[in-house]
Structure 1
Amino acid sequence: MPYSRFSGSLTSPKVDVVIDMGNPFLNLTVDGFLKIGAVAATRAAAEDTYHILQKGKGRVFGLLQLKKMCKEGAYWGTVAGLYVGTEYGVERIRGKRDWKNAMIGGAVTGAIVSAANNNKKDRIAMDAITGAAVATAAEFINYLT
């Protein structure tokens, strides 16, 4: 009986943009904004492309899709920049690099984003807890890999 197997490794290309703002806090914040903002904009473009192809009416990518890409990129880039900057600030204040920095950064980011969306106190607290849980889980998963 024939037998075969696949052996090898898959790697993704690494693209890194470095913008030196003269301060490590600003460097990390801008880096987080640009990377996650680009991912969010790409996701919005892919989603709109799918919907255009699904309708099959020959529509082209237009200004509405570009506007959505920019809004998504700016929103998620801002959230990511806020999180990365907060986590770095907490690390500098505490003098330690551990999962607690991610937890505090996630909680602060969740609370600020929720408050900026004019949510009530209960919702802000729930979003802070969710932000802390997601950031802490991501930190633990990152540690395992």
Structure 2
Amino acid sequence: MKEYKIIKIDNQNYPMFDDMVFWRINGKQRTYSEKSEVANNNFSDVYVALTNSNLYVYAALDNDKFVGWISIIYMPKVGRLNGLGHLYIDELWVEPTYRKQNIANRLLEKADELLNTTESVGVRLYVNTENLSAKKLYVKCGFSESGTAYFMEKTEYHTVQN
């Protein structure tokens, strides 16, 4: 089985990461002209977010493109557990043609590594009850159901002034 490099996302490799997100959203890779257009983007807000010491974003590299990623947040627990908190997996995605190649497992290993470096007490995630293949993956990687919860969200979009 092919080994994919797992790379931490930073300001240097973020444009290539952004190409993968485009691929996920649109179901196709950017054309050459779209890549040229994006090359002129100013990702300064994203670059600031990437410096957050509680945010960890890793991607799987296949030659010259990223094919999957995991986004992990560390949240301290104030008032309990001596201030130690949990890691939360916000997103895990692998491009469909790259699935079943151990990439998701390798990305999830980053959360296990962070358990030690952040002194977290555990890793938490949410999975859609209808996404049985993801649930099977998480169980295989040591996760277990810990009750039933509703995923609720309040979204407010802000427009950026130029």
What is the TM-score when the length of structure 2 is the normalising length?
A: 0.27
| Greater relative contact order (Cα < 8 A, sep 6+) | 1
More strand by share: 2
More helix by share: 1
Which protein shows a greater Rg? 1
What is the TM-score when the length of structure 1 is the normalising length?
A: 0.29
